[in-house]
Structure 1
Amino acid sequence: MQEPMTYEIKPTKLIPNSPKPLLLYKNFCMQDGKVDLGLAYDTFIKNGWDVQWVTRYGRHQRSHYHPETHETMVVTTGPGIIRWGVADLDDDTEKNIYGDAFEEGGLQMTAEVGDVFVIPAGVAHKSFDQDAEDEKSGCLTGVARGIESDDPRGLVVSLQLEGFTMMGAYPKGFSWNWGEGGDSPNFEDVWKVSNAELDPVVGSDGGIKKYWV
């Protein structure tokens, strides 16, 4: 069974991040150089994670975190860039992405097709495609709090994806809320969010069952 890569993302002055590591699985549900969207969807659902959106990313996104739920994201087309663990320090998105208006100490990486990130509550992230045209960005499946279709799996499988896109899921029964730097004065409340019953990728055989103890 595949072992994830692990990243320790320490708290900053403005972001709680988490004592639990960020997990990265490579080459998830890959067939013929592409992510099998149906298989990826089915794997998350089987392991108790609700798929709530597929989004295309543009040149800008604000750094944010989810204070009340964990999250998983799989890169369905790409590559793109994700910056982890630090708050924006200016509302000007050109400055907080392409300048230096963000906290020190973050982790920035290229997100490649087939990468799955399992993100503890509180870990800040911002996802962007420096080569994108922003008008092509946005959620492709509705309002990003559930797939808006009588056949959500069918809708996901039918999507024609390009640019930097990801599919996101949350432990069953949870939805996301949005926090930015300084929004959670009590970091320990964020760190106490209960683990999901199963890892979104490997179920009961490892992942969060092994590394989020």
Structure 2
Amino acid sequence: MSLARDQIKPQLHRFDDDGLIPNNPMPLLLYKRAVEIAGGDPEQTIEDLFEVNGWGDSWRNGIYDYHHYHATVHEALGVARGRALVLFGGEQGEAIELRPGDVAVLPAGTGHKCVFASHDFRVIGAYPPGATMQVTRPTPDNYRKALQSIPKVRLPDTDPVFGKDGPLLRLWQK
């Protein structure tokens, strides 16, 4: 169950294009402690939240330990268990600690890699309807292709945490 909308305001993080990882002019949204996951099945709680808000194709795992991004789709990452230090935005980006209940929403092209994860770290990933997720590594050729595909990625119709009235809809604009 997500917490009250007026209690959770996303932190905004913007990252510059570094020549290999394009990032995105739209900010990464970080909802700290946005999902109440005490007891029960936290993975299912996050999957259900994403699903009810129109974000699907979910998976359960960790975050790759190498720089990558998704040039064809936006991504939501909800932390169910453990903690991790994730470097967002490429080598010159920002390392952010993620803990249970946190949700990071990455606009297409946002670089990320796991720097550290506790042994019990578990994250749920999900995507808005549309293109299929592809893992893209930062190479010159991939970068050139991503500069063409990222501007074509549709804006989501909903926020993965708060649905049709969520802050993502006013914070992400082309």
Could you tell me the TM-score, scaled by structure 2's length? 0.84
Q: 2:162 aligns with which of 179, 182, 202?
A: 202
Match of 1:148? none
Match of 2:19? 13
Q: 1:37 deviation in Å?
A: 3.2
Structure (1 or 2) with the larger CA radius of gyration: 1
Residue 144 of structure 2 aligns to a residue in which SS? coil
Residue 41 of structure 1 aligns to a residue in which SS? helix
Identity of aligned residues (%): 32
* Deviation string, structure 1 residues 170-213 (Cα, Å, up to 9, x no partner): 11244210111131215253133111110101112132201001
Higher normalized contact order (CA 8 Å, seq sep 6+, divided by chain length): 1
What is the CA–CA distance in structure 2 between the aligned matches of 1:54 and 1:112, rounded to whole Å? 15
Which 10-residue stretch deviates more, 61-70 or 38-47? 38-47
Unaligned runs of 5+ in 1: 87-102, 133-162
Match of 1:111? 98
The verdict on how the C-alpha distance between 1:37 and 1:18 changes in structure 2, with shifts beyond 3 A counting, is: same
Match of 1:176? 133
8 Å CA contact 1:34, 1:114 repeated in 2: no
Match of 2:51? 45
8 Å CA contact 1:24, 1:116 repeated in 2: yes
Residue 129 of structure 1 aligns to a residue in which SS? strand
8 Å CA contact 1:35, 1:114 repeated in 2: no
How do residues 99-178 of structure 1 correspond to structure 2 at under 5 angstroms?
103=91, 105-129=92-116, 132=119, 163-178=120-135
* Deviation string, structure 1 residues 121-168 (Cα, Å, up to 9, x no partner): 000001243565xxxxxxxxxxxxxxxxxxxxxxxxxxxxxx111000
The verdict on how the C-alpha distance between 1:36 and 1:185 changes in structure 2, with shifts beyond 3 A counting, is: same
8 Å CA contact 1:70, 1:119 repeated in 2: yes
The verdict on how the C-alpha distance between 1:35 and 1:120 changes in structure 2, with shifts beyond 3 A counting, is: farther
Residue 184 of structure 1 aligns to a residue in which SS? helix
Which 10-residue stretch deviates more, 62-71 or 202-211? 202-211
How do residues 62-73 of structure 1 correspond to structure 2 at under 5 angstroms?
62-73=66-77
Count how many residue pairs are aligned between Structure 1 and Structure 2: 164
Unaligned runs of 5+ in 2: none
8 Å CA contact 2:37, 2:80 repeated in 1: no
The verdict on how the C-alpha distance between 1:178 and 1:36 changes in structure 2, with shifts beyond 3 A counting, is: closer
The verdict on how the C-alpha distance between 1:172 and 1:78 changes in structure 2, with shifts beyond 3 A counting, is: same
Q: 1:52 deviation in Å?
A: 2.2
Match of 1:79? 83
8 Å CA contact 1:55, 1:166 repeated in 2: yes
Could you tell me the TM-score, scaled by structure 1's length? 0.70
